[in-house]
Amino acid sequence: MKRLYAAAILSLFAVGAYAQMQVKPEERVATFCAQQARAHGQSGDKRKAFIKSCTAKAPECVKKADEMKVSGMEYINSVAACVAK
């Protein structure tokens, strides 16, 4: 019986940790756009303009990628291709 209680408590901690690991889509978009700007070597006003246009397009692109249920590099590439259009 003690093992059952221990397993239940551990599973609750695991669920809580998993919930904290979930990143809000807005944070994902901001991080993605900043990474793309860095990858293109942009700085200053060009960087700000790029991030502004990227964050305007990206929520729609992130939603499409989430619907496709891809992950990892496929996810990044699909969002990047969508934003580049």
- Residues with Cβ within 8 Å of 76's Cβ and at least 6 positions away in sequence, in order, are 32
- Residues 26-73 have pLDDT tens digits of 777 788 788 888 888 888 999 999 888 888 887 788 888 888 888 888
pTM for this structure?
A: 0.53
Give the model's pLDDT for residue 61.
Answer: 84
As a 3-state breakdown, the chain gives helix, strand, coil percent values, each rounded to 5, of 85, 0, 15
pLDDT at 17 over 60: no
- 2 — pLDDT class (breaks 50, 70, 90): low
